Amino acid sequence: MARGKASRNKYTVGDYIEKMKDPRFTFSPKGDWNGVHGDGKSRTNGAFLTKTQATSTEPTVYRVKVMNMVKDTIEIGPIDLEPMPDNEPPKDAYIVNVLREAVGLEPM
């Protein structure tokens, strides 16, 4: 049992972001934080979860944060994201690169 626990402690938010693939972020409904991408790893008990939000204000502000669900803490953010033209939600690749930058990783 201690072996698994040590493994969980070594898995960082940077590891989670580095392994993030095809996240399919969503910003609906407005005003709510949406859990959109979890690590789903048994060795971490699904510790990390990325959440997105589109504010209900005008103009809409798009945000992202990464939670540590085991510790119930925010690991990254919330970060305000640049919208697309016409204030459309930002693209997934842009959001992943924002998160990668937040943990010191090179963009994809």
Residue 27 lies inside a defined structural domain of this protein: yes
Residue 43 lies inside a defined structural domain of this protein: yes
**What digits encode the pLDDT tens for the residues 65-92?**
999 988 899 999 999 999 998 889 999 9
Q: Bridge-partner residues for 35, per DSSP?
A: 51
pTM of the entire predicted model: 0.84
More confident residue, 95 or 1: 95
What pLDDT, on a 0 to 100 scale, did the predictor assign at position 40? Answer: 65
Dist CA 77 CA 9 (whole Å):
21
What pLDDT, on a 0 to 100 scale, did the predictor assign at position 3? Answer: 47
What pLDDT, on a 0 to 100 scale, did the predictor assign at position 6? Answer: 41
Dist CA 72 CA 7 (whole Å):
19
Per-chain mean pLDDT for the chain: 86
Residue 108 lies inside a defined structural domain of this protein: no
Residue 88 lies inside a defined structural domain of this protein: yes
Residue 50 lies inside a defined structural domain of this protein: yes
What pLDDT, on a 0 to 100 scale, did the predictor assign at position 1? Answer: 40
Residue 15 lies inside a defined structural domain of this protein: yes
Show the domain range for 56.
Answer: 2-102
Neighbours of 99 (CB within 10 A): 25
Work out the end-to-end distance of the chain between its first and last CA atoms, rounded to an integer number of angstroms: 36
**What digits encode the pLDDT tens for the residues 4-51?**
444 445 788 998 899 888 788 999 999 999 988 776 666 666 788 999
The maximal CA–CA distance of the chain, rounded, in angstroms, is 52
What pLDDT, on a 0 to 100 scale, did the predictor assign at position 44? Answer: 60
Structure tokens at 86: 């016409």
Residue 56 lies inside a defined structural domain of this protein: yes
Q: What is the domain count for the chain?
A: 1
